[in-house]
Amino acid sequence: MEPLLDAAGHTRSPATMPGYHRGRPPRNKGEHYPADPPTVEEIIEVMRVAGDGPDGRRLRALIVILWRAGLRISEALALQESDLDPDRGAVLVRRGKGGKRREVGMDRWAWSELEPWIEIRHQLPVGAFLCVIHGATAGRHWEASAARKQLHHAALAAGVRRRFAPHQLRHAHAVEMAHEGVPLVVIQRQLGHANLGITSIYLHGIDSAEIINTVHGRPSPMISASAGLQLR
């Protein structure tokens, strides 16, 4: 086979070609990680480190969609430009887990953070919302392996000392909504879970100290006056 060359004439690894990893099981398949979502401060620091260039803005857009809309990375990378509706604050997931279609919401701050990338995206060929930026494949699907790698490097540069993976941002989305008092059934629909049992697993990321403080701060048991008289 003839060697693959990039635009500069340098030899290109087959692993950089679209679809190379398709069908290959991920290296961490079968491994289970604790629900240890990053803090808001850690996420913002990673976004800051990513920078304002096209590559940085694309990564920041990915982080926003994973964190503020709670999408799976496969769902985020499958988004088309037409799937985003800023006026309604809605994101359309055409084919989620199990092939299910759903619409999710995203907050106003998240939409404002997407605007710089949207402006950059308009200058590229029509295609996936989060796409390849450089070279002959610009506008095409951004491979998950490349996205994960860039996210990992940004987290290291930001000094994040915990695992900072796409699914951790999805966990952070669920935990933050629970803190805000969003009903569990709404969180379930937002995440695209088949049942509430799966959603409850995502909330294992709630810190133990918060549970202890909440229960410790409960009021003393109260009894009615008539019940008190009956105890004598």
DSSP-assigned letter for residue 16: G
- Residue 193 a catalytic site member: yes
CA distances from 185 to 36, 37, 199 (A): 22, 21, 9
- Residue 97 a catalytic site member: yes
Exactly one of 58, 68, 72, 171 is catalytic; which is it?
72
CA distances from 188 to 71, 103, 196 (A): 12, 12, 6
- Residue 218 a catalytic site member: no
CA 107, CA 110: separation in Å to the nearest integer? Answer: 5
Query: Which residue's entry shows tokens 């190379």?
Result: 20
Exactly one of 57, 58, 170, 173 is catalytic; which is it?
170
The CA angle 173-175-178, to the nearest 5 degrees, is: 110
Exactly one of 58, 121, 171, 193 is catalytic; which is it?
193
Burial class (CB in 10 A: 0-12, 13-18, 19+), 36: middle
Exactly one of 97, 102, 140, 141 is catalytic; which is it?
97
Exactly one of 148, 163, 167, 189 is catalytic; which is it?
167
CA 2, CA 121: separation in Å to the nearest integer? Answer: 33
- Residue 20 a catalytic site member: no
Burial class (CB in 10 A: 0-12, 13-18, 19+), 118: middle
User: Which residues are catalytically annotated?
Assistant: 72, 97, 167, 170, 193, 202
